Structure 1
Amino acid sequence: MDIFFQQIINGLVQGSIYALVALGYTMVYGIMGLINFAHGEVVMIGTLVAITVTSSLI
């Protein structure tokens, strides 16, 4: 049963990340009227920094 709740939390976290990325795309598109393709690169750099920090703490 612990695995079930852990998967629920993992799904909520992953969904929240997707929602934040989509919100960023929506805000940039709404303000500029153009899609910013560099937005994905910024998300990727943030992910790499988070992985590096997390692995150094463990």
Structure 2
Amino acid sequence: MSEDTRVIIEFVKVGAYVKVSAIDPLTRVEVSIVGDPSTSQARLEKTALKKLNYVLDKRKKNL
């Protein structure tokens, strides 16, 4: 994923935690994390983006 690629971020509060999904619309790859709702939105988003980049890089290496 390049620096100028758009990513869809979704936050959903589920009981005692928040689920954060990051979707790359070009590849349609989606990853999710769960976290504490008291954690900052920026921190949760950064973690989800880091996981998305990891998955995209791993897929690229396996091609």
* TM-score, scaled relative to structure 1: 0.45
- The structure with the greater share of residues assigned to strand is 2
Structure with a larger share of its residues in helix: 1
Which structure exhibits the higher relative contact order, with contacts defined as CA atoms closer than 8 Å and separated by 6 or more residues?
A: 2
Find the structure with the greater CA-based Rg.
1
